[in-house]
Amino acid sequence: MTTRTVLVIAHTGRDEACELTTAAVTEFRAAGVQVRLLADEAAELGLRGLEGVEQVSVGHASTSDCDLVVVIGGDGTILRAAELARPTGTPVLGVNLGHVGFLAEVEKDDMSVIVDAVVTQSYQVEERMTLDVSVTQDGVVVTNGWALNETSVEKGAGVRMLDLVAEIDGHILSRWGCDGVVMATPTGSTAYAFSAGGPVVWPGLGALLMVPISAHALFTRPLVVTPDSTLSVTVQPDTDPAVLWCDGRRIVDLPAGSRVDAKRGEHPVRLARLHTAPFTDRLVGKFALPVQGWRAARAERDNDMADG
């Protein structure tokens, strides 16, 4: 049997994550799985020098020739892992320790299931659309980036309102006085875009979202466009500077006059899946949606009163 290799990434700032990571490393090694840890995380976990554990530096090489990246933490930790895994196409499997954990596949009590899935390679791989983002100033591209969930143009500290022009495929859509604009993938529709009032989009749908944040204008509806569209936002010359965020992790300053273009990313992020439950069930479970509703609850109370 071919030896499997996993890179384990953890939220080392949480005691629970550290304990679970240490247990996971032990279980993987006992099952004959080669384990990699980021060198700085190995030090924080007290696992530096542990026999059978390879320590690697932060970078794309850390996921090279790796079967899987196992992430122990919340969605923020998974997004950090995606930065390493995306260039090599290595699947990412999230173990949820966060509050909602939409990107996570399993809960913390399923570690033995994860180990077995790695050994037997009994998991499915799902490709998630990303965004390629470019920033242009005076007609020159000054920054390129990417995002799995979303890229957002936002007002900086001390700024009361931004003056932004939104475009779709090079055609002006509207001018908004607003706090910012979120441009998201279907995966990101349950993240920042959702909080800003955008729709929930099933991850298998090819689409891009544009959602204005607290916009003061006649037309401020969230938009869902084709996956081949280009979304653009220009910070007007007479407004305050803005900032660009990619997945809430990478930030770029946007002086007045800057233009941001976002389009479907050339490279997707691959997520490992152990379960085949439909997205509807995931939505209900993650948001704890009341599937019975108030009518069912009232009927149950009426029946209890009748029985009494």
DSSP element (H, E) containing 297: helix 293-307
Q: Is 110 designated active site?
A: no
Which tokens is 14 given?
A: 């949480």
Instruction: Spot the catalytic one: 67, 75, 179, 261.
Output: 75
pLDDT of residue 286: 83
Vertex 200, ends 222 and 288: CA angle to 5°? 135
pLDDT of residue 289: 86
Which tokens is 79 given?
A: 């997004």
Query: Spelled out in words, what is the top-level CATH class assigned to the domain 131-264?
Result: mainly beta
Decide which of 283 and 168 is more confident.
Answer: 168
Task: Tell me the residue ranges of DSSP E strands in the chain.
Answer: 5-10, 34-38, 53-56, 68-73, 92-96, 106-107, 124-128, 131-137, 140-147, 150-155, 162-168, 171-178, 180-184, 208-213, 223-225, 230-235, 242-246, 250-254, 259-264, 269-273
- Segments making up each domain of the chain, as ranges: 5-128, 131-264
**Where do we find the tokens 């946007």?**
254
Q: Looking at residues 229-250, what average pLDDT do you find?
A: 96
Q: Looking at residues 110-124, what average pLDDT do you find?
A: 88
Q: CATH: 3.40.50.410, 3.40.50.10330, 1.25.40.10, 3.40.50.720. Which one for 5-128? A: 3.40.50.10330
Per-residue model confidence as pLDDT tens digits over 54-92: 999 988 789 999 999 999 988 999 999 999 999 999 999
Per-residue model confidence as pLDDT tens digits over 155-174: 988 888 999 999 999 999 99
